[in-house]
Structure 1
Amino acid sequence: MDALSVVGGGIAGLALAAHLDPGRFHVTVHERREGPPPVETSLAMWPEAQLALDALGILPAVRAAGSGFGGMALRDGSGNVFFQAQAPGVIGVSRADLLRLLDAAVPGSVVRAYGPVASLPQSGLVVGADGVHSVVHRAVWGERSRARLSPYLALRGIIDEPVPPGAGGEYWGRGQLFGITPASRGRTYWYASFRSELGPGGIDVDEALAATRARFSSQIAGVDRVLAAATPGETLAQRIWTVPYPGRYARDGAVLVGDAAHGMTPNLGRGACEALIDAVTLADLLNSRPLPEALQAYNRRRLLRSQAMRVASSAMTRLALADRAQPLRDGLLRLAGRCRQSAAVGH
């Protein structure tokens, strides 16, 4: 039986551990801390990710725990709708629920090891599933692979209230955005992003919330209502980091999955989805092929696709958080909305 160490017990790490053949691999999952994340957030599961969840045997449970995503109104900073974007079949699920279901799918034969990883395991394959600040990525690919800090602060949280009437959607202002979407159990998931000097580490959530309220206060009633209900204990405030292009995902007895491989800005809502696809793809290949062949095939299947998502997400961030180019952006989006409406009427 081959030894395999998964560094990181988040979405990618748990999905991989759940899908590896326990008759072929002796798997150890290393995780910094035990228990669910302290702040609940929501994730969109797109159809490709749902195929991965189905392969893991938990898609029905994710559907039961989540909620339909439907569509999203894209709005300007004053709340006027550019157009309504549809997302049929997308499921919204809380990160805590997804992690709970993935954790339950991991076989009992998998060894759990909690605490920081001081040095990489010396035997067997090592999988870096430890996020944008991956110790595996840095140890094997070198210091030039360190995560890169963006100028943007991101806040996220869930409030125990339904979406305010007519307030759902994403608001693109001048150098700032705010999003409001339904969450499971009739709640509201909200998020905001803008340039900030806070951080990068040890961000005071009270201060970050105060800065967010100051930027968005009195602009839109629904946004005010959401921010009034947000509390520091139920809010996550982080600077956004990204991971540079690594060239390949497998090297010197190590392989990368999820954010450790392609950490991206959150504007496409695809980070968790790509992590799930990485994990199931890699597990399927490791279960069925010799190790060198499996790693080569994983690199071929996932490198270009996931890196394209990373680049597209960065482009979306620049568009959504445009500052001086905001008037031009809004004009183009209004034109696009009118064209969509005309096409719909003509059809």
Structure 2
Amino acid sequence: MEAITIVGGGVAGLALAAGLDTQRFDVTIHEQRPGLPSVESSLAMWPQAQRALAALGILPEVQKIAVPLGGMALRDGAGIAWLSPEVRGVLGVSRAGLLGVLEAAVPRSVHRVTRRVEDTSAMSGLLVGADGVHSVVRRAFRDGHADARPTPYLALRGVLAEPVGEDAGGEYWGRGTLFGIAPTSRGGTYWYASFRSGLGPAGVDVAEALRQTRARFAGGAAAVGRVLETAAPETTLAQRIWTVPLLADYGRKGSVLVGDAAHGMTPNLGRGACEALVDAATLAQLLNSRPVPAALAAYNRQRVVRTQLLRLASAGMTRLALAERAQPLRDRLLRVAARKSRAAAVGRS
């Protein structure tokens, strides 16, 4: 039996543990926070992530707790829709629900250790960093030269029991502000917001973050105001957005990175959890079928370029969505694009 030690029991770590061959590997997961997250949020499962879930044998279970995401209107800060692109084949699933399915898929033979990992030097076998943007494994992997970087933006997320109105869903792009509203699988409303803030970078006061959010979006779209009236600190998650610097490889020296530890990106493309699942399913399949060195080399070839390009694309989308001085020009260009899109649709009909 070859030893594999996974640091981090979130989406990437649990998915990897669920996919590894228990006849070949002796697997241990270290996770500092037992149980499901106390504040709910929602994740978009793009087709690539669904294929990864299918490879792990758990796609049907996820589909049972998911809701199809048919489209997300792109709006200005007042709520006027520019574009309403149709999105096909994407599912929305709660983070807690996905983690619950992944937990159930992890074999009982996997050892579980509940503690915070500060030092990885004594860990045996292949070391997997699935411990997020502040990864301890990545710091050891890169000799301390790959620390996470804070952006100037705050991100808030929450779930409300009330359903979203049919005419309210989508993303609202204001001057240096972004607000999103989407349905949940339980008939409620998932919302998120982002803007430049001096709070943090660590230990963000949720109540103060909500106060700032209400102030930033005051006088804007009515739907946003209704959501923020109902939002409460106990059902809201507020964090500074962090990213990971460019990495040219994810596996070497007996260590390998998956998920946000490898390519932590801004959330504007909605691909963080998706790529974490693809990382895990890909690495599990390679480790199950090849010697470890060959598996890590193949993992680098298959995952580094794609995920780093997504990281860059997400950063570009953040700059566009949260534009301040360039906001008037951005809005004019989007209005032109909307008119051309409607004219093209009329022509096709």
Question: What aligned pairs does 1:12-51 form with structure 2 within 5 A after superposition?
Answer: 12-51=12-51
Worse-matched range after superposition: 214-223 or 45-54 = 214-223
Give, in angstroms, the shift of residue 66 of structure 1: 1.2
Q: Which residue matches 1:2?
A: 2
Q: Does 1:239 align with 2:252?
A: no
Q: Where in structure 2 are there 5+ consecutive unaligned residues?
A: none
Q: Which residue matches 2:77?
A: 77
Amino acid at match of 1:137: R
Give, in angstroms, the shift of residue 7 of structure 1: 0.4
Question: What aligned pairs does 1:196-345 form with structure 2 within 5 A after superposition?
Answer: 196-345=197-346
Q: The residue matched to 1:311 in structure 2 has which SS?
A: helix
Question: In structure 1, how many angstroms separate the alpha carbons of the residues matched to 2:185 and 2:61?
Answer: 13
Q: Which residue matches 2:61?
A: 61
Q: Which residue matches 1:101?
A: 101
Question: In structure 1, how many angstroms separate the alpha carbons of the residues matched to 2:289 and 2:264?
Answer: 28
Is the Cα–Cα contact under 8 Å of residues 153 and 195 in structure 2 kept in the other structure? Answer: yes
Is the Cα–Cα contact under 8 Å of residues 27 and 110 in structure 1 kept in the other structure? Answer: yes
Give, in angstroms, the shift of residue 335 of structure 1: 1.0
Is the Cα–Cα contact under 8 Å of residues 5 and 123 in structure 2 kept in the other structure? Answer: no
Question: In structure 2, how many angstroms separate the alpha carbons of the residues matched to 1:167 and 1:33?
Answer: 35
Amino acid at match of 1:178: F
Question: In structure 2, how many angstroms separate the alpha carbons of the residues matched to 1:113 and 1:57?
Answer: 25
Give, in angstroms, the shift of residue 342 of structure 1: 1.3
Q: Which residue matches 1:125?
A: 126
Q: The residue matched to 1:286 in structure 2 has which SS?
A: helix
Question: In structure 2, how many angstroms separate the alpha carbons of the residues matched to 1:20 and 1:338?
Answer: 50
Give, in angstroms, the shift of residue 2 of structure 1: 0.1
Q: Deviations over 1:70-109 (max 9, x none)?
A: 0010001111111102211100000000000000000000
Q: Which residue matches 1:172?
A: 173
Give, in angstroms, the shift of residue 52 of structure 1: 0.5
Q: Deviations over 1:293-344 (max 9, x none)?
A: 1000000000000001100000000000000000111111111111111111
Q: The residue matched to 2:190 in structure 1 has which SS?
A: strand
Q: The residue matched to 2:145 in structure 1 has which SS?
A: helix
Amino acid at match of 1:44: A
Question: In structure 1, how many angstroms separate the alpha carbons of the residues matched to 2:209 and 2:124?
Answer: 43
Q: The residue matched to 1:303 in structure 2 has which SS?
A: helix
Amino acid at match of 1:162: P
Question: Would you identify which runs of 4 or more consecutive aligned residues in structure 1 move more than 6 Å?
Answer: none
RMSD: 0.8
Worse-matched range after superposition: 313-322 or 158-167 = 158-167
Q: The residue matched to 1:85 in structure 2 has which SS?
A: coil
Worse-matched range after superposition: 82-91 or 254-263 = 82-91
Question: What aligned pairs does 1:132-171 form with structure 2 within 5 A after superposition?
Answer: 132-171=133-172
Q: The residue matched to 1:17 in structure 2 has which SS?
A: helix
Question: In structure 2, how many angstroms separate the alpha carbons of the residues matched to 1:309 and 1:102?
Answer: 24
Amino acid at match of 2:111: V
Amino acid at match of 1:5: T
Give, in angstroms, the shift of residue 165 of structure 1: 4.1
Q: The residue matched to 2:85 in structure 1 has which SS?
A: strand
Worse-matched range after superposition: 73-82 or 162-171 = 162-171
Give, in angstroms, the shift of residue 21 of structure 1: 0.2
Is the Cα–Cα contact under 8 Å of residues 141 and 246 in structure 1 kept in the other structure? Answer: no
Identity %: 65
Question: In structure 2, how many angstroms separate the alpha carbons of the residues matched to 1:232 and 1:282?
Answer: 38
TM-score normalized with structure 2 length? 0.98
Is the Cα–Cα contact under 8 Å of residues 69 and 90 in structure 1 kept in the other structure? Answer: yes
TM-score normalized with structure 1 length? 0.99
Question: In structure 2, how many angstroms separate the alpha carbons of the residues matched to 1:210 and 1:223?
Answer: 14
Question: In structure 1, how many angstroms separate the alpha carbons of the residues matched to 2:66 and 2:176?
Answer: 31
Q: The residue matched to 1:88 in structure 2 has which SS?
A: coil
Q: The residue matched to 1:179 in structure 2 has which SS?
A: strand
Amino acid at match of 2:187: G
Distance 1:86 1:165, change over 3 A: closer
Amino acid at match of 2:60: P
Question: In structure 2, how many angstroms separate the alpha carbons of the residues matched to 1:104 and 1:97?
Answer: 11
Q: Deviations over 1:275-299 (max 9, x none)?
A: 0000000000000001111000000
Question: In structure 1, how many angstroms separate the alpha carbons of the residues matched to 2:72 and 2:23?
Answer: 44
Q: Which residue matches 1:11?
A: 11
Question: In structure 1, how many angstroms separate the alpha carbons of the residues matched to 2:251 and 2:274?
Answer: 20
Q: The residue matched to 1:145 in structure 2 has which SS?
A: coil
Amino acid at match of 1:55: A
Give, in angstroms, the shift of residue 228 of structure 1: 0.8
Worse-matched range after superposition: 212-221 or 145-154 = 212-221
What is the aligned length? 347
Q: Deviations over 1:98-129 (max 9, x none)?
A: 00000000000000001111321432100000
